[in-house]
Structure 1
Amino acid sequence: MHFALHFSNGIPIYEQIVRHIKFAVANGGLVVGEHIPSVREAAAQLAVNPNTVARAYRELQAAGILIPIRGTGLAVTPEAPQRCRSERLELIRDRLRSVLSEARQNEITPEEIRQLVESELLRFA
């Protein structure tokens, strides 16, 4: 579990951990049945308080992303990939709605928006 935490961006550290794990599950970086580092290991790797990691792990368990496996730790649930992909799409949908609302407020036409989206999509092709 290697990712960068941002201590000054206003997003609580535990929430950043939750997001990183969900994104890793959504993109296949963590697969069904794979174990994640223990609270102590993750806290040491990320240089944060173990209670912060424990809180993130509890939230992920409550969301059905992680499940405790007796004697071995926490693993990714079979339902997690679909849930995480759905959440990621919903997050992107919310961001798009915000951008479209701003565009409407600035009187940008639907055709101009389509052209912008298409030109940006070509950059990824």
Structure 2
Amino acid sequence: MLFHIDPSNGVAIYDQVVRQVKFAVADGVLREGEMAPSVRELSRQLTINPNTVARAYNQLQTDGVLESIRGTGLAVKKRATDRCRKERDAIVSARIGQAIDEALRSGLAVDQVRDLVEQALIQSNVSQPEAQS
């Protein structure tokens, strides 16, 4: 599993970890019942403080995404996939909505915005052929 942290994007690192784990669950990369990487393993992979990963994992437990398995670690909780998909879709929808609002406020016509969105989708499919709907 490969996560990427961008310390310069203005989003707290632990929030980025939370979001990426939720997106991994939503996409089926992390499946219900599957063990999440250990705090040490993920902090090493991302070169971030283990306390940051622990904080993210605590938030994921509070959010009902991960559950503690005694003596083993943290696993993806049952029914977490649907919850994560809904949250992912809401986040992506909000971002798309913001971009469309900005485009319309800048004076672009609806048809121009639609063309730009279609072009972006085409470019995205070229760079990500395995993208799922």
Normalising by structure 2, report the TM-score. Answer: 0.81
Partner of 1:6, secondary structure, is coil
Partner of 2:67, secondary structure, is strand
Distance change (3 Å), C-alpha of 1:108 and 1:79:
same
Distance change (3 Å), C-alpha of 1:113 and 1:81:
same
Tell me the residue number matched to 1:117: 117
Tell me the residue number matched to 1:33: 33
Moved more, 16-25 or 53-62: 16-25
Tell me the residue number matched to 2:2: 2
Amino acid at match of 2:50: P
CA RMSD of superposed structures (Å): 1.9
Amino acid at match of 2:51: N
Tell me the residue number matched to 1:84: 84
Distance change (3 Å), C-alpha of 1:112 and 1:26:
same
Q: Deviations over 1:60-108 (max 9, x none)?
A: 0111110111221110012211111111111111112211211221222
In the TM superposition, residue 122 of structure 1 has moved relative to its aligned partner by: 4.3
Distance change (3 Å), C-alpha of 1:118 and 1:42:
closer
Distance change (3 Å), C-alpha of 1:5 and 1:116:
closer
Tell me the residue number matched to 1:94: 94
Q: Specify every segment of 5 or more residues in structure 2 that has no aligned partner in the other structure, as ranges.
A: 127-133
